[in-house]
Structure 1
């Protein structure tokens, strides 16, 4: 990934944070959306975690995505149709295998696509249908789009919306959970996966 491109990405991210922080609104020049303190909390946490992902991006190129830190490693591989498919096994092996950055970016895209589709859409594709985009730059763009869509969906929610389980009812891992619980889980899961990405980068 080009250094100048990602530097601009980090500047854009900082601009988003400065615009949102303490204002409860949209980007500079866009209509202001009134948000509740709880929405500001979960989106603020999201922004902080996302800034760590943007920090790592300059070091993530195609080779980094496919680097396998151990022989027993889950990664993404092209199938006969040219799709990049992620390694997966049910039940998960014990001990759990190491994972490549390509696999980790796919995993973020998988759970975020699924969560966004069930909570704010008409459902989501099955896991097997969600492929890795094929290169580092496209993967970064994919995840940025999911983050922006998720953040925008949270912005207008009321406290009643956050406490409701209506939107999480069909989510495979959200049964009985309030939407605010899922929003907190998204932040936690993203932080975990981004930290794993940073660790793999240190092993190269």
Structure 2
């Protein structure tokens, strides 16, 4: 199917943002933005769980219970993501692991509620126990949402309810607005993850703050 003209720039932005995020997480190098390759190590388990401040929300074993201020661990499997509604104010600082899983959730969920069975919940998505799997799961979610995007025609971009993802306003706005919103989520969380990687490295692998978690 030919990409609708109105979708093309947003799809290009999505592809660029997700490629840069994944290469920043995988290594061995990423594009600095001007075409110059910069060396980067693959995300480690310790880095994924590093807490830049005490009490940060993260991903953790269900057996250990939620972190400070969280009321539930969301997700299937041995591990869950700190959460709870209504969200606390001010919002908690979150770890790379939390942000990675959040992006994975919103991409997988919207793919399902747009072009899938329309029944996937946050509670059904497995929270990985290690960094390599978390990055691989993110890559799979990136592909799932892209496939959902490339399955629509121009008329679908104006359709309200094309996505009925239950954890946002998707069912109330035209699909093109959903596409725009997802891009913003990827862009700003990708930037946050990149900054946390820089801070972790500058903090001597987390040793200067005393933050972190057990793998």
Question: What is the TM-score normalised by the length of structure 2?
Answer: 0.74
Structure 1 residues 82 and 126: alpha-carbon distance in aligned structure 2, compared to 1, 3 A threshold: closer
Specify the SS of the correspondent of 2:184.
Answer: helix
**Structure 2 counterpart of 1:67:** 50
**Structure 1 counterpart of 2:206:** none
1:117-171 C-alpha deviation (Å, 9 max, x unpaired): 1111112433233232111111111111111122122224211011111322454
Report the Cα distance in structure 2 between the residues aligned to 1:135 and 1:150, rounded to whole angstroms.
23
Cα RMSD between the aligned structures? 1.8
**Structure 2 counterpart of 1:76:** 59
The structure with the largest helix share of the pair is 1
Residue 10 of structure 2 is aligned with which of 42, 50, 65?
A: 42
Shift of 1:203: 1.7
The answer to whether structure 1 residue 154 and structure 2 residue 135 are counterparts is no
Shift of 1:55: 3.6
Unaligned runs of 5+ in 2: 28-40, 64-75, 201-215
Kept in 1: contact 2:109–2:165 (CA 8 A)? no
The answer to whether structure 1 residue 87 and structure 2 residue 115 are counterparts is no
**Structure 2 counterpart of 1:101:** 96
Specify the SS of the correspondent of 1:74.
Answer: coil
Aligned length: 172
**Structure 1 counterpart of 2:108:** 113
**Structure 2 counterpart of 1:180:** 176
Question: What is the TM-score normalised by the length of structure 1?
Answer: 0.77
Residue 196 of structure 2 is aligned with which of 192, 195, 200?
A: 200
Kept in 1: contact 2:13–2:183 (CA 8 A)? yes
